[in-house]
Structure 1
Amino acid sequence: MQNEFSVSGSVVVQAPPEAVFAVLADPRKHSVIDGSGTVQGEMSGPQRLVLGSKFGMRMRRGVGYRITNTVVEYEENRLIAWRHMLPGRWRYELAPEGDSATRVTETYDYTAMMPKLLARTGLPKQNQRSIDATLQRLKAYLEGEHG
């Protein structure tokens, strides 16, 4: 789903919110679930993220680079969001679905990043594809043999 200043997607995962959150709050798992193909691994930072945590990773989009993120929103087993030097924000919201499933909504919010200019770059559509792929990878990871 896309609005003027953000893109998002949702998936229902057959796992409790605690299990989903454990994957999202572990930066070493981000390369496993990344649907963009840009997260290359080589993580730095804590093993479990909390509000204010800084974590870095090696990325590749045409050329390789390193990025450092800061957790800017956090509610245990419900919400985690981070941003890097640009003010865009990656957010994951979790909502229980029945006894053992979780609706995961991932959003990339670029409201604070000159959104009209950014929209012309095609990046929001690319991020939408990445979100959809990430959510499917997260679902497969948690519902598969690793979950």
Structure 2
Amino acid sequence: MSETSISANRVIDAPAEDIFEVLSLPAKHPQVDGSGTVVSGTDQRIQQVGDVFVMNMNSDVMGGDYKMENHVTGFDPKKLIAWKPCQEGTPVEKNGWEWMYELQSQGSDSTEVTLTYSWGDANPALLKKMSFPVFSESVLEESLENLAAAVSDK
């Protein structure tokens, strides 16, 4: 863990292609989410850096139901997918935290997946308003566990 990020990793018994297929479809994210805040996502597959996908969310801390626009910041098929979330209607520069999944093939049926949650680019005003990290390392570990289950159910 650094001062501005936390990570978890796990080997998943599935090819990188199958894992990437789950991660690049926002409708699958509620199955993967370890925080319990993701309610639903769009059926439109993420295809490139610059894509924006909307997630329906729910959290008591955020006052109940809300939407997040996720701006894709990293995309390399079967290797990397990353996005910066921001509340719907808020410029992405106002948030600045990022989720990143890195996939490293360990053979034809096994992939090491590293999930990183970083807030190094978070807006200073947001850093004063919220206490980072908002999510713990255990949330990342649960997300990876959920990802393994989602891939096996594919």
TM-score category of the 2 structures, normalised to the smaller one: 0.7 to 0.9
What letter matches 1:12 in structure 2?
Answer: V
Cα drift, residue 118 of structure 1: 4.5
Percent identity of the aligned residues? 33
- In structure 2, the residue matched to 1:97 is 106
Contact 2:96 2:123 in 1 (8 A): no
After TM superposition, where is structure 1 displaced by more than 3 Å over at least 4 residues in a row? 117-123
Count of residues paired in the alignment: 142
1:106 to 115, 133, 136: 115
User: Normalization by structure 2: what TM-score?
Assistant: 0.82
Task: Say whether residues 1:54 and 2:52 are aligned partners.
Answer: yes
Instruction: Look up the equivalent residue of 1:5 and give its one-letter code.
Output: T
Alignment of 1:67-106 (within 5 A): 67-84=68-85, 86-106=95-115
CA RMSD after TM alignment: 2.2
TM-score w.r.t. the length of structure 1 is: 0.86
Query: Is 1:141 matched with 2:145?
Result: no
Match of 1:26 in 2: 25
Q: Which amino acid aligns with 1:23?
A: V
The 8 Å contact of residues 33 and 137 in structure 1, kept in 2 or not, is answered as yes
Range with greater deviation from structure 2 (28-37 or 79-88)? 79-88
Structure 2 unaligned regions, length at least 5: 86-93
Deviation readout 1:34-85 (Å, 9 max, x if unpaired) = 11000011x2362344221110011111011111111111111100100025
Distance 2:123 2:95 in 1: 11
Matched residue type, 1:24: L
The unaligned stretches of length 5 or more in structure 1 are none
Render the CA deviation track for 1:85-131: whole Å, top value 9, x for unaligned.
5111100000011231000000011111268x859965427332211
